Chain A
Amino acid sequence: MSNDFFSMRGIVKQYQMGDELQTILKGIDLDIDEGEFLSVLGPSGSGKSTLMNIIGCLDTPTSGTYILHGRTIRDLSEKELARIRSREIGFIFQQFQLLPRLDAMGNVELPLIYAGVPARERRRRAEEMLVRVGLQDKLHHHRNQLSGGQQQRVAIARALATNPTILLADEPTGALDQTTGEQVMELFEALHDEGRTIVMITHDLKIARHGSRIVNILDGVLSEGVSAYD
């Protein structure tokens, strides 16, 4: 029952929309084991983005308990949430979100600056991560000199840099063509094989199938498997 690594029990998220109180997540129970590659599959409006925000500690649930890496995420200040994001979560976004004025190295170093890693160690780790994602010859390229796939690899290197507890990817192939998307998925699988814990949010069943386990979210209710799509 109790899972100190990742455990959600009865997670409810409600938003006030005008006069109406909308319940986006209706009591989510979710456990993730270390080293799992979990795909959260759901159409838009299903509440998967809200779930991602709560998993990523960008937002806190209205009720329910969420334990991440032995820590209960509840009633935390903005500052404490920022610390947890810095240590536990590696974000990968659909639109890559690289800062245009920084080169690949600079972008990968960014979370390390906030994590308080000294400059020399920062550079060493950033380079290591860029080599890991196969961009050893693009260390000092800027966003406009990189293809979409390469940008997403930089973003993955950035997410890996702080050695987070979980990699949290939001539609990581959403802005890529099919071939590039497949290549990024191969990289995800390789990271999974190395023992990384990955949570990937997607609406695309084909992409979701790369995960070692799939959960399905519909109307704020989570269920194992892909039944809704079958």
Chain B
Amino acid sequence: MTRLKQKWDMFAESVSMSVTNITGNKMRTFLTTLGIIIGVAAIIALMTVVQGATDTMNAQFDAMGLGTLRVSITGTALKQGLTDAELEQLLACTHVAGVSPSLSATMTAKRGDTWSDSMLVSGNDGAFFEHNADMLSRGRAINAIDVAQESRVCLMDGDAAKTLFFGEDPVGQTLYLDGRELTVVGMIDQDENSSLFTQILLGGSNDGTLYVPYSTAKKLMKTSTVSTLEVYVTDPDETDAAVEEMEGVLDGIFNYKDDTYTIINMESMTEAMNLMTSMMTSLLVGIASIALVVGGIGIMNMMLVTVTERTTEIGLRKALGAEPGQIQMQFLIEAIILSLLGGVIGVAVGLSVSLAICVNTDIAFSLNTFAIGLGVSFSAAVGIIFGWAPARKASRLNPIDALRSM
């Protein structure tokens, strides 16, 4: 008990001495800890921003729907897509809840004197809009009846509205697609999370996107087969089983020829992406750690100067009965406090920088507690490693020599 108490008293005494020494020379303290500040700030900022970017991307993947597979048919020279009967075959799979074929093409849209020859037209069925209900911002979605009746209706996104109906409300108005008249029944939210994927999957550079019933699109594009479809799985956990089942069906359709179709599993894409970002994070943090090592050398240098400056004090303490271990502990604590101070400031700077980056981009900011813990414990470790040698030097000072150098 007393022994513990004595240790605590020694500790408190060492901390108080360190604080006095550290605050007594603020400029030197700042310059000494700058290396640690930069190192920790870099680690925090990198990890927070990468984490934020990953979260944002994952949110977009999730918006695409877990349990959603994308099938893209390359086909053979003779058979380039799937017929309605073959779609029925896929729908018959036990793990498949729904199949939503989609067709897309760039077409010419006209409305009065305004026209655009690079309007992306996407044909989808009712199931697609049921699974992506939050895409709709106004009006009504395309439903199963529209598909069955080949209704001449369409939805459009903000870009298309800007191109064709600048300054007007497009809902209820009509337009012409390759000479066929269509009525606009609703609007698609442009900032919807999956817009990124729409762009990746459908191609980015165009005047906007029109969504029409799948059956209407087949007519417009003069085709009877479909080459792109979304497949909804009954249970996201059964995705792999569904993929296997579908592979069986598609292999049958294409006579087991290689490279006739691709099934993109969102989940596996997410995993691949996460692996990539975590590798990137490790690399960046590794580089940032170099700054920490340089900062540690700065602290070691400062502590060596301190030991020389306080030679007399060390001698006095020894004369008053301080054991070498107690002197060593005191200087080690000072080094640790110094580098922890740098670490804490570094965390604050790192968080501010990453907050600024996140606010100015579309990356979601989230407090990365792991990064903060890593930064703080790294800086403490630097204090211990680089404070060791100076503290040892102090503890080994001969008290006679130390006292004589007054």
Contact = CB atoms under 8 A, between A and B. Distances in A.
Contacts, number: 70
A113 B10 contact: yes
B20 interface: yes
A116 B313 CA distance: 20
B316 A99 contact: yes
A86 B321 contact: yes
Interface string B1-16: 0110110011001000
A85 B319 contact: yes
A110 B400 contact: no
A53 B400 contact: yes
Which of B5, B319, B325 has most A Cβ within 10 Å?
A: B319
A89 B399 CA distance: 14
Contact of B322 (A82, A91, A93, A118): A82
Nearest to B319: A91
B324 interface: yes
A74 B325 CA distance: 21
B17 interface: yes
Interface in B62-117: none
A214 B2 CA distance: 42
A151 to B, nearest CB: 13
Interface string A86-105: 11010101010101010000
Contact of B321 (A59, A85, A99, A101): A85
B324 A79 contact: yes
Contacts of B200: none
Contacts of B325: 79
A58 interface: yes
Contacts of A85: 318-321
Interface in A87-134: 87, 89, 91, 93, 95, 97, 99, 101, 110-111, 113-116, 118-119
A129 to B, nearest CB: 14
Interface in B1-40: 2-3, 5-6, 9-10, 13, 17, 20, 24
B321 A83 contact: yes
B403 interface: yes
B312 interface: yes
A113 B406 CA distance: 24
A89 to B, nearest CB: 8
Q: Interface range on chain A: under 10, 10 to 19, 20 to 34, or 35 or more?
A: 20 to 34
B391 to A, nearest CB: 15
B319 A113 contact: no
B15 to A, nearest CB: 13
Contacts of B312: 97
B317 interface: yes
A45 B39 CA distance: 54
Given A53-B400, A101-B20, A119-B9, A111 B320 contact: yes
Nearest to A50: B400
A101 B320 CA distance: 17
Contacts of B10: 113-114
B326 interface: yes
Interface residues of B, number: 27
A196 interface: no
A155 to B, nearest CB: 10
Which of B5, B6, B316 has most A Cβ within 10 Å?
A: B316
Given A59-B400, A79-B325, A113-B10, A118 B5 contact: yes
A110 B5 CA distance: 15
A78 interface: yes
A116 B400 contact: no
Contacts of A56: 319
B3 A82 contact: no
Which of A83, A99, A158 has most B Cβ within 10 Å?
A: A99
Given A59-B400, A101-B20, A116 B3 contact: yes
A16 B291 CA distance: 45
B321 A114 contact: yes
B323 interface: yes
A152 interface: no
Contacts of A59: 400
Contacts of B313: 99
A104 B5 CA distance: 23
Contact of A58 (B6, B326, B400): B400
A83 B317 CA distance: 12
A91 B315 CA distance: 12
Interface of A: 53, 56, 58-59, 78-79, 82-83, 85-87, 89, 91, 93, 95, 97, 99, 101, 110-111, 113-116, 118-119, 158, 162
Given A89-B319, A99-B316, 18 more contacts: A58-B319, A58-B400, A79-B323, A82-B322, A85-B320, A91-B319, A93-B316, A95-B406, A97-B403, A101-B17, A101-B24, A113-B9, A113-B13, A114-B10, A116-B3, A116-B6, A118-B2, A119-B9
